[in-house]
Amino acid sequence: QVQLVESGGGLVQAGGSLRLSCAASGRSFSVYAVGWFRQAPGKEREFVAFNPRSSSSTYYADSVKGRFTTSRDNAKNTVYLQMNSLKPDDTAVYYCAASAGGGSSYRESSYAYWGQGTQVTVSS
């Protein structure tokens, strides 16, 4: 079992950058794949990025590809989401989630553990 806490959200102007952190406790991130999701007001939660637990490739939604990068530091039990060239449409609550394996990376049901979310607001 693992507990996740997101941080790093805030208010930023369009074109700016933020780095979100997802810190784990209970178990090491080394045994989990981590997904990033976001939910805008009045909309369903959507997949953003996938951080693998091994040497497999990261994966990104088309809407953020080329702008967002996910990485991890297993020694610090932390996964990051670097967000560059932010747009107003990126405004949402961002969540990290952990999976011990199996399932599709872009499906919420693949992840057993979720953080509380952190708000990202991008002004125009």
User: What pLDDT score does 82 carry?
Assistant: 98
CA atoms of 102 and 22, how far apart (whole Å): 21
> CA-CA distances (angstroms) from residue 35 to 14, 15, 62, 102?
24, 24, 15, 13
> 112 pLDDT band (50/70/90 cuts)?
very high
User: What pLDDT score does 54 carry?
Assistant: 77
Phi, psi for residue 122 in degrees, rounded to 5: -115, 120
Checking if the pLDDT of 106 tops 90, the result is: no
> CA-CA distances (angstroms) from residue 69 to 43, 50, 53, 57, 112?
23, 9, 15, 12, 23
For the stretch 3-50, pLDDT in tens is 999 999 999 999 999 999 999 998 888 888 999 999 999 999 999 999
CA atoms of 109 and 118, how far apart (whole Å): 20
Contact 122, 86 (CB under 8 A): yes
CA atoms of 7 and 119, how far apart (whole Å): 9
